[in-house]
Chains A and B, each alone.
Chain A
């Protein structure tokens, strides 16, 4: 079974802090994703990465950055946390079939980090 592990289940930080959210997957997946999930807004894609050191912006990248130095690890960084970044953050990974980057393999999710910015 695919396992996507997010380092913290709950996190409380203060406005202006630099916040790091970590995600590790154990299935050698090429693609990794960061989403946030808010009531009434559903899941929205922040960033994704299709290879080490590669990244692409999703729908709502403002205020966030990402880092992928190793294939199994994808980090989300809040450069200067603000209260409107209080949310549930979900990491996901997917494999590439037949060396096609945009293949139709399902994304597998971690259990999320509930982040509160005070």
Chain B
């Protein structure tokens, strides 16, 4: 059965304190791994798609990396506006379905 596990469940950071979020997955025939950001009361907002091991994508203070078993979302020198829940999801070779992890709630204090 496909599984996506995110850790930690919650993360409290001081402004400027860099950290990493983990998304580990077990899925046969990975076609893509997606990262989303979700603010309270809003729908998930697309951040990145990663397709193959070794791939990296960056956007502002966020950098996503992918290995054969996990993905990391690195937050460099975070600001309070980076506070959100970060979700990862995987898509298998066949089908349109995304399997989501439970998310990591990030709180960045000034």
Contacts and interface: CB of A to CB of B under 8 A. Distances in A.
Interface stretch (B12-20, B73-81, B89-97): B89-97
B51 A4 contact: no
Contacts, number: 55
B45 to A, nearest CB: 7
Contacts of A16: none
Contacts of A33: 96
Interface residues of A, number: 27
Nearest to A109: B43
B97 A58 contact: yes
Contacts of B101: 42
B44 A104 contact: no
Given A40-B102, A42-B102, A42-B103, A108 B97 contact: no
Interface residues of B, number: 24
B96 A111 contact: no
B3 to A, nearest CB: 11
Interface stretch (A43-51, A63-71, A74-82): A43-51
B46 A111 contact: no
Given A43-B87, A104-B31, A48 B96 contact: yes
Interface string B38-61: 000111111001010000000000
Q: For the complex of A and B, list the 9 residue pairs with the smallest distance between their C-beta atoms, beginning with the closest.
A: A109-B43, A43-B100, A106-B46, A104-B32, A42-B102, A42-B100, A111-B43, A109-B44, A102-B96
Interface of B: 31-32, 34, 36, 41-46, 49, 51, 87, 89, 91, 94-98, 100-103
